[in-house]
A and B are shown apart, each in its own frame.
Chain A
Amino acid sequence: MMRTPAGHQVYAMAAEYPSAAALYEAAKRVRDAGFRRWDVYSPFPIHGMDDAMGLGKSWLSGWVLFGGVSGLLTAALVVVGSLSARCAR
C-alpha cells in the first residue's frame, strides 16, 4: 500500500510530459507494464496514441452502421408503404 508523506493512501499518480513524442513513448511503457486503469490526456488527438495505449477500434462505427441501416429501412418503408396500394380503411 503506497502512502503519501502525510500518511494518506495514494489514490492515483499523474505525470506530465514536455512533448507529444515523450508522452507517446511513456504511454507505450505503461501499456507494456500491464496497467489497466490509466489514461492519457492531451489538448489534441495524438496520432498513434491509441496503439500506444493498447486500445482497440472505437465501437462507435458499429452503432452508426446500425443507425444508418435502420434509418434507411424506415425511410424506405415510409416511402414505399405510402405509395403502395392498400385497403381503404
Chain B
Amino acid sequence: MDAAPAAPETIEEAERQIARGPLVLNRRNFSWLTERISAVVEQPAPRWWWVAFTITASAATFGLFCLGYQISTGVGTWGLNHPVGWAWDITNFVFWIGIGHAGTLISAILFLLRQKWRTSINRSAEAMTLFAVTCAAIFPGVHVGRVWMAWYLAPFPNNWGIWQNFRSPLMWDVFAVSTYFTVSVLFWYTGIVPDLATLRDRASTKIRKFLFGIFALGWRGSNRHWRHYEMAYLLLAGLSTPLVLSVHSIVSFDFATSVLPTWHTTIFPPYFVAGAIFGGFAMVLTLLLPCRAMFKLYDVITPQHIDKMAKIILLTGSFVGYAYTMEFFIAWYSGNSYERFAFWNRVFGPYWWYWWVGMLFCNVLSPQLFWFRWCRYNVYVVYFVCMCVNAGMWFERFIIIVGGLHRDFIPSSWGLFIPTWVDIWTYIGTLGIFTSLFLLFVRFLPMIAMSEIKTAVPEADVHLVTTPGGKERTR
C-alpha cells in the first residue's frame, strides 16, 4: 500500500505545489501590456476587420429593414398563428439575454470569487453582454405588435388611470432586463475609465484626445480615486451577481408561471440560468478565439484561460444535461398524461430534429469532450464545441417555446409553426447587430482591461522582492 503523500516541508514548497501558471505568458511587463493592447485601438483596422464588418453591418441593416417592415405591416409578417403565438421572437429574446449573462458572470461573479484570470477576458465579455442585451431587448419591444404603445409598460401616474399588471412575469421582465442593462452599462463604463485615460494620454490625433478625454472623466491614476473606483467596482459586482441569477429566473418565469405542459415546471429558473451561462461562455469564446488570433494576444488570453472557460462550459453543460434528464423523468413520474405526451412529442414529434441534434448532440454530448485535456487545449476543438453550443442553445429555447405551444391540451388545436423570411432575417439581423457592435468595440475601445490585467502579473505585488537570483515572494 502506498504511504500517504508527505506534507510539504516548507511554505515555499507548498506554494510551488499549488502554484498555477502565470496569467500573462513570457513574463511580459506593464509596458508591453499597454503597448500591445493599445495598438489594437491605435493602429488602423486590419483588412479582415473590414471584411467582417461589411458582412455583419449588411446583415444588421437588412435586419433593421425587416424590423421596420414588421412594425409597419404587422406581426402577421412573422409565422406566428394559432396555436403558436411565440416562436422566433421570444426564442431570440431568451437566447440573447442568456448570452449576456456569461459576461456578467465573468465580470462580477469571478471578481467576487477573486479569480484573477478573468482580467484578460472581462472587458470583452462585458461588452458582449451589453450588445447581447441590446439585441434581446428588441424582441419584447417589437413583438407587442403596436410598438408605439410600448410606453404603457412604464409606471407613472396618467389621466387614463392606467397602471401596469405587476403580477405578470412579462412586466417583471421589463424591470429585470432594464435594470440588468443599466447596471451592466455602469459596470462596464466604470471599469473602462482608467483604460480610456491611458488611451487619452497616448492619443496622437486631436479627435481621439478629445473623445477619450471626455469619456475618461479626468482620470489621472490617483490612488485617492482608485480607492473609490475599487469600491464602486466591488459594489457593482455585488449588484450584478444577483442580477445574473434573478434576470434569467424572471425570464424563465415567462414560461414557468403558465399552465402549459413542459412550461409549468419549477426546474426552469436554475435550468435557464445554467443554460444562459453555458451558452454565454460559448459565445465569449466564439468571439475571443478569433480576436486573440487576429490581434496576436496569445500571451494575454492564454491556453490556461481557454482551459478554465472550457471547464465552465463542461460544468454548466452538465447541469443542463441533468436538467433535461430530470424533465423527462419527472414528466414520466408525474403520471400527468399531458406532460408525458409533451416530452414524447419532443423526442418523436414533428420537431424531433431540434431535440436530437440541438439539445442532445449539441448541448449534452459536445461539451463532454472537455473532460479531455487535449480537447480543452486545442482551439479548433474548443471552437467546434462552442459553435455547437451556440446553435444548441437556440434550438433548446425554440423547442421549449414552440414545442410547448404547438401541441398542448386539445388535439384539435394542434398546429405547426413555420418561420417566414421576416422571422429568419430578423434573427440574422440581430446576429449582424451583435457582431457589428462587437467589431466596433474591438476597433475603438480597449478590448482587454489594461489596468486590471496589470494587477494579475507578479510585478504588481507590493511584497515582491527582486533578489539577484530571481524574484521571490516575501511574507
Q: Which residues of A line the B interface, CB within 8 A?
A: 19-21, 23-24, 39-50, 52-53, 55, 57-58, 60-61, 64, 78-79, 82-83
Bound-complex Cα distance A20 to B230 (A):
17
In the complex, the answer to whether B462 meets A45 with C-beta atoms within 8 Å is no
In the complex, the answer to whether A42 meets B235 with C-beta atoms within 8 Å is no
Given known contacts A21-B462, A61-B231, A39 and B223 CB-to-CB distance under 8 angstroms: yes
24 intermolecular pairs with C-beta atoms under 8 Å apart: A20-B459, A20-B464, A23-B462, A41-B223, A43-B34, A43-B450, A43-B451, A43-B454, A44-B460, A46-B223, A46-B460, A46-B462, A47-B455, A47-B461, A49-B223, A50-B227, A52-B462, A55-B223, A55-B224, A58-B228, A60-B228, A82-B164, A82-B166, A83-B163
In the complex, the answer to whether A49 meets B226 with C-beta atoms within 8 Å is yes
Which chain A residues border B451 with CB–CB below 8 Å? 43-45
Bound-complex Cα distance A60 to B236 (A):
11
Most chain A CB neighbours (cut-off 10 Å) among B166, B226, B461: B226
- Is B465's CB within 8 Å of the partner chain A? yes
Which of B166, B224, B463 interacts with A79 by CB under 8 Å?
Answer: B166
In the complex, how many angstroms separate the beta carbon of B23 from the nearest chain A beta carbon? 14
For the complex of A and B, 4 pairs with smallest distance between CB atoms: A58-B231, A24-B462, A44-B454, A82-B163
Nearest A residue to B166, CB-CB: A79
In the complex, the answer to whether A42 meets B226 with C-beta atoms within 8 Å is yes
- Is B42's CB within 8 Å of the partner chain A? no
In the complex, how many angstroms separate the beta carbon of A37 from the nearest chain B beta carbon? 11
In the complex, the answer to whether B222 meets A40 with C-beta atoms within 8 Å is yes
Bound-complex Cα distance A47 to B458 (A):
12
- Is B232's CB within 8 Å of the partner chain A? yes
In the complex, how many angstroms separate the beta carbon of B17 from the nearest chain A beta carbon? 24
Nearest B residue to A28, CB-CB: B462
Most chain B CB neighbours (cut-off 10 Å) among A20, A52, A55: A20
In the complex, the answer to whether A41 meets B222 with C-beta atoms within 8 Å is yes
- Is B221's CB within 8 Å of the partner chain A? yes
Which of B224, B450, B455 interacts with A39 by CB under 8 Å?
Answer: B224
Which chain A residues border B464 with CB–CB below 8 Å? 19-21
Q: Count chain B residues whose beta carbon lies closer than 8 angstroms to a beta carbon of A.
A: 34
In the complex, the answer to whether B223 meets A60 with C-beta atoms within 8 Å is no
In the complex, how many angstroms separate the beta carbon of B281 from the nearest chain A beta carbon? 26
Most chain B CB neighbours (cut-off 10 Å) among A41, A45, A55: A45
- Is B215's CB within 8 Å of the partner chain A? no
Most chain A CB neighbours (cut-off 10 Å) among B228, B462, B465: B462
Q: Which residues of B line the A interface, CB within 8 A?
A: 30, 34, 155, 163-164, 166, 194, 198, 220-224, 226-232, 235, 450-452, 454-455, 459-466
Which chain A residues border B462 with CB–CB below 8 Å? 20-21, 23-24, 46-49, 52
Which chain A residues border B460 with CB–CB below 8 Å? 20, 44, 46-47
Bound-complex Cα distance A82 to B161 (A):
10
Which chain A residues border B155 with CB–CB below 8 Å? 78, 82
Which chain B residues border A60 with CB–CB below 8 Å? 228, 231-232, 235
Nearest A residue to B31, CB-CB: A43
Which chain B residues border A79 with CB–CB below 8 Å? 166
**Apart from the given pairs A21-B462, A42-B223, A43-B451, 19 other A-B contacts in the complex at a CB distance below 8 Å:** A40-B222, A41-B220, A43-B30, A43-B34, A44-B30, A44-B451, A44-B455, A45-B223, A45-B230, A45-B451, A46-B226, A47-B462, A48-B462, A49-B462, A53-B223, A55-B223, A58-B228, A61-B235, A83-B166
Bound-complex Cα distance A49 to B228 (A):
13
In the complex, the answer to whether A58 meets B163 with C-beta atoms within 8 Å is no
In the complex, the answer to whether A42 meets B221 with C-beta atoms within 8 Å is yes
Which chain A residues border B221 with CB–CB below 8 Å? 41-43
Bound-complex Cα distance A78 to B198 (A):
43
Nearest B residue to A23, CB-CB: B462
Which chain B residues border A83 with CB–CB below 8 Å? 163, 166
In the complex, how many angstroms separate the beta carbon of A81 from the nearest chain B beta carbon? 9
In the complex, how many angstroms separate the beta carbon of B391 from the nearest chain A beta carbon? 38
Nearest A residue to B457, CB-CB: A44
Which chain A residues border B198 with CB–CB below 8 Å? 43
In the complex, how many angstroms separate the beta carbon of B315 from the nearest chain A beta carbon? 29
In the complex, how many angstroms separate the beta carbon of A8 from the nearest chain B beta carbon? 24
Which chain A residues border B228 with CB–CB below 8 Å? 58, 60
In the complex, how many angstroms separate the beta carbon of B204 from the nearest chain A beta carbon? 19
Which chain A residues border B463 with CB–CB below 8 Å? 21
In the complex, how many angstroms separate the beta carbon of A59 from the nearest chain B beta carbon? 8
In the complex, the answer to whether B226 meets A39 with C-beta atoms within 8 Å is no
Bound-complex Cα distance A46 to B459 (A):
10
Bound-complex Cα distance A45 to B222 (A):
9
In the complex, the answer to whether A21 meets B34 with C-beta atoms within 8 Å is no
Bound-complex Cα distance A55 to B226 (A):
11
In the complex, the answer to whether B455 meets A58 with C-beta atoms within 8 Å is no
